[in-house]
Amino acid sequence: MIHSVQSNRSVLAAIGLAFVLTIGLLAPPVAAQQSSDAALPRVLVLGTGGTIAGQANARAGNAYDSGKVTAAGLIAAIPDMDKLARISAEQISSIGSQDMNDKVWFDLVKRIRAAVDNKEIDGVVITHGTDTMEETAFFLSNVLDTDIPIVLVGSMRPSTAVGADGPANLYEAMRVASAPESRGRGVLVVLNDIIHGARFVQKTNTTSVDTFRSPNAGPVGYVDTGSLRYLEPAATAKGPKYKLPDAPPLPRVDIVYSHANMDAAEVEDAVKRGAKGIVLAGVGDGNSSKGAIDALAAAAKQGVVVVRSSRVGSGYVNRNVEVEDDKLGFAVALDLNPQKARVLLELLIANGITDPKAVQQAYGQ
């Protein structure tokens, strides 16, 4: 019985795959769906890979490989996208976002800056895996200085799955990126009818299509049937934008994960590996064992920048509660989870900001 359910699934997945391949791979590589309506906004789609571009793999019933279909192919398979915008699509990478790296980040920034400077576009959609989407969104929000909407989108089911969520998510991302009311809202993440801001969004479930949440702030809006429903007016104030070095990599920042029965070894290993900064994924309010805190204090004395965050997943990490941050020369990440705190610390160190007080100011007070 189970066997026949799986083979039915395989047949349906094969039909889906054939659909995507037939429509997707026949699509031109750059112009995804060309509309000649000059009144429509121009949206640049940059493909990076992810499950949204995933294809079923025969190794198991639910197995797939990320990043197999191009962004142009994904767009071509969705009817009526050309009624929303004049769309062009380019492929920056074809990877699962577990492999996301500085090079792809630098390439995205370069392409978006060029398109903005040349006034080529009114919006950007980035197709991306969900595993590290929040990190890429947060990175871009800290380096790009533009009012145009930059929207990251992905899916939890591959493009060949029964009930694939990618097409609906991509269509919604296109609605968001092409809408004038999305301007001035920074970098956004769209999945499952919800619009999140780059600072607060987090992946919270390993497999559910309703995985993205903004636990410390709530979403910034919803993609409703007829309208985009933003909960607040667009912000005019912009955060600081950090400079990028001419080429990757960014300075090495490691995350040390705190746990019961912890000693100094993980912190010492990070220092030995040459980390210029360490983010503590602390227990509770960013705490750790005496051994780990002493090792962090020794690292800070040697010039390693130390930021305390939390493994908990929501809430703020506060200064000087159970750890003497002032005395030990630490900063705290406030609402930023360890993976986002790591991105910011890479940028701070790259910009020469290493003094604990200046580092704390960058995270917030």
Ligand X SMILES: NC(=O)C[C@H](N)C(=O)O
Q: What is the DSSP letter of 180?
A: G
- Give the one residue of 129, 149, 167, 329 binding ligand X; rule: CB under 6 A: 129
Instruction: Convert residues 267-306 into a mask of x (bound to ligand X by CB under 6 A) and - (unbound).
Output: ----------------------------------------
Smallest gap from residue 97 Cβ to ligand X (A): 3
Report how far residue 16's alpha carbon sits from residue 167's, in angstroms, rounded to the nearest whole number.
12
CB-nearest residue to ligand X: 129
Q: With contact defined as beta carbons under 8 Å apart, do 262 and 293 qualify?
A: no
Instruction: Give the closest residue to 94 by CA, choosing from 65, 120, 134.
Output: 65
* From 91-99, 245-253, 296-304, 356-364, span contacting ligand X (CB under 6 A): 91-99
Cβ contacts of 117 within 8 Å, gap of 6 or more: none
Q: By CB under 6 A, is residue 74 in contact with ligand X? A: no
Check: CB of residue 94 under 8 Å from CB of residue 121: no
Nearer to ligand X, 26 or 60 (CB): 60
Q: Which of 41, 42, 43, 51 binds ligand X (CB under 6 A)?
A: 51
- Residue 200 or residue 212: which is nearer to ligand X going by CB? 212
Rank residues 201 and 244 by Cβ distance to ligand X and give the closer one.
201
Sole window of 96-104, 134-142, 189-197, 231-239 interacting with ligand X (rule: CB under 6 A): 96-104
The residues in 133-162 that bind ligand X, with binding defined as CB under 6 A, are 154, 156
Residue 97 makes contact with ligand X by CB under 6 A: yes
Q: Which of residues 346-365 bind ligand X (CB under 6 A)?
A: none
Question: Residue 105 in contact with residue 248, Cβ under 8 Å?
Answer: yes
Tokens of 308: 């305390």
| Residue 130 in the binding site for ligand X (CB under 6 A) | yes
Select which of 48, 70, 130, 136 is catalytic.
Answer: 130
Cβ nearer to ligand X, comparing 156 with 317: 156
Smallest gap from residue 361 Cβ to ligand X (A): 32
The position carrying tokens 């074809």 is 94
- Nearest approach in angstroms of CB 188 to ligand X is 17
Instruction: Provide the pairing of β-strand 228-230 with 221-223.
Output: antiparallel
Q: Does 50 bind ligand X (CB under 6 A)?
A: yes
Among residues 51, 70, 132, 136, the one annotated as catalytic is: 51
Token digits of residue 15 = 């039909």
| Nearest 10 degrees: Cα torsion 147, 148, 152, 153 | 140
The distance of closest approach from Cβ of residue 237 to ligand X in the complex, given in angstroms and rounded to an integer, is 31
User: Which stretches does DSSP call E strand in the chain?
Assistant: 42-49, 55-56, 64-65, 86-95, 123-127, 150-153, 187-191, 194-197, 202-203, 212-213, 221-223, 228-230, 253-257, 277-282, 305-310, 331-332
Tell me the three state secondary structure of residue 99.
helix
Binding range to ligand X, per CB under 6 A, among 95-103, 224-232, 241-249, 283-291 = 95-103
Instruction: Give me the residue label for tokens 């980390």.
Output: 275
Question: Residues binding ligand X: what is the number (CB under 6 A)?
Answer: 11
Amino acid at site 43: V
Nearer to ligand X, 148 or 156 (CB): 156
If we measure between CA atoms, which residue out of 71, 67, 44, 54 comes closest to residue 17? 54
* Active site (annotated) includes residue 51: yes
> Which CB sits closer to ligand X, 47 or 154?
154
Give the residue, chosen from 41, 47, 96, 186, that forms a contact with ligand X under the rule CB under 6 A.
96
Query: Taking CB under 6 A as the criterion, which residues in 28-47 touch ligand X?
Result: none
Give yes or no: 204 in active site: no
DSSP 276-328: SEEEEEEBTTTB--HHHHHHHHHHHHTT-EEEEEESSSSS-BPTTSSS-HHHH
| Near ligand X by CB under 6 A: residue from 82, 122, 131, 254 | 131
When the beta carbons of 51 and 288 are compared against ligand X, the nearer one is 51
Other Cβ atoms within 10 Å of 114 Cβ, number: 11
Binding site for ligand X (CB under 6 A): 50-51, 66, 96-98, 129-131, 154, 156
Catalogue the active-site residues.
Answer: 51, 130
